[in-house]
Amino acid sequence: MKNKSMKNVTTHLAAGAAMVVLTMGVFGSSQALAGIASTKHNLGSLGTGVNKFDGTAELCVFCHTPHGADTTAAVPLWNRVLADPTSYTTYNSLGTSSLDGATVAVGSVSIACLSCHDGTQAMNVMINQPGSGGYNSAGAAMAGNWTGANQTGGKIGAGLITNIGVDLKNDHPIGIQYGGGPIAGTVPAAPADYTTSLFKDADFKDAKSATLNGQSVWWVETGTSGRQKTDMQLYTRTGAAQLVTGSVLTGAQPYVECASCHDPHTDANATFLRISNANSAVCLACHTK
């Protein structure tokens, strides 16, 4: 599954933007860190979720490691093997006429989420297992036993909606330009906002912008002004080399990824959504309908 040459094609968050994700978008605040132990993403022996693994009482290790992480991953200190981006079939393959934006190869934070949620490898496969002597750059399954109704041998159970698989045609598009992409082929540099008038598809809300650590970042606000964990996060990607379909890309642009809508560190809302979807608030945060 691991293909370094193909993964190098995927564009990752720039170093500065990655640090923003570390502190705001992925690792989150201390409040979120305090809450992850009580979520389904705590897979360790002390977890309270459906699936539990008796090989370790740790919880962060299933995704993150302080040493020896996969540096091709666009998320902080990733501790899992990533798939070949070409192994996925994406939504654009349906040929729907309503898809305006260019789609790029599966990457960014989405391919990290899929390293569990495509159901192809067990959740206890890690690059750097707890303790000494457990490092394997190709990834290896940590010894231990799984319990729980939503897994089989540590893989997310077949047929469950959380097992997204490698065929993503029936899922919300990921790796797709926000707002259908820019009319002029480029997105204004931060801190200028990326507004509806600049989109190919006017049925999207404005994307706010800021320069953090020297990099442009974008988000769609859902409440308080300023970038918050409860906003819809957009992820910076660039480069025509990774283009799957659509027009040629120019410069850094905001893309929709799995973590645009989901925060893996808190389940304050159903299915780890960043905000409650009452009255379809998640959908309508971005879509003007």
The whole-angstrom separation of Cα 187 and Cα 195 is 10
- Other CB atoms within 10 A of residue 148 CB: 16
Whether the Cβ atoms of residue 138 and residue 2 lie closer than 8 Å to each other? yes
The whole-angstrom separation of Cα 69 and Cα 82 is 11
3-state DSSP assignment of residue 64: strand
Q: What is the pLDDT of residue 97?
A: 82
Indicate the domain borders of the chain: 4-286
Residue type, 275: I
Q: What is the pLDDT of residue 145?
A: 98
CA 242 to chain centre: 17
Q: What is the pLDDT of residue 11?
A: 36
Sign of CA dihedral 162, 164, 170, 172: positive
Alpha helix (H) ranges present in the chain? 4-7, 15-20, 30-35, 108-117, 258-261, 281-286
For the stretch 193-197, contacts whose Cβ atoms lie closer than 8 Å and that sit 24 or more positions apart, written own/partner, are 194/218, 194/254, 196/288
- Neighbouring residues of 252: CB distance < 8 A, sequence distance ≥ 6: 14, 187, 215, 216, 236, 237, 238
- Written as six digits, the tokens of 144 are 């231990």
pLDDT tens per residue across all 289 residues of the chain: 434 333 333 333 333 333 333 333 443 444 444 589 999 999 999 998 899 999 999 999 999 999 999 999 999 999 999 999 999 999 988 888 888 888 889 999 999 999 999 999 999 999 999 998 999 999 999 999 999 999 999 999 999 999 999 999 999 999 999 999 888 878 888 889 999 999 999 999 999 999 988 888 999 999 999 999 999 999 998 765 455 566 666 678 899 999 999 999 999 999 999 999 999 999 999 999 9
Peptide bond into 130 cis (omega under 30): no
Q: What is the pLDDT of residue 213?
A: 86
Q: What is the pLDDT of residue 248?
A: 62
At residue 277's C-alpha, the angle toward residues 263 and 268, to 5°, is 45
Q: What is the pLDDT of residue 113?
A: 98
Whether the Cβ atoms of residue 127 and residue 136 lie closer than 8 Å to each other? yes
3-state DSSP assignment of residue 100: coil
Whether the Cβ atoms of residue 287 and residue 279 lie closer than 8 Å to each other? no
The whole-angstrom separation of Cα 222 and Cα 281 is 9
3-state DSSP assignment of residue 205: coil
The whole-angstrom separation of Cα 216 and Cα 196 is 18
**How far, CA to CA in Å, does 112 sit from each of 74, 140, 149, 184, 277?**
8, 16, 23, 31, 24
**How far, CA to CA in Å, does 146 sit from each of 46, 120, 122?**
13, 16, 10
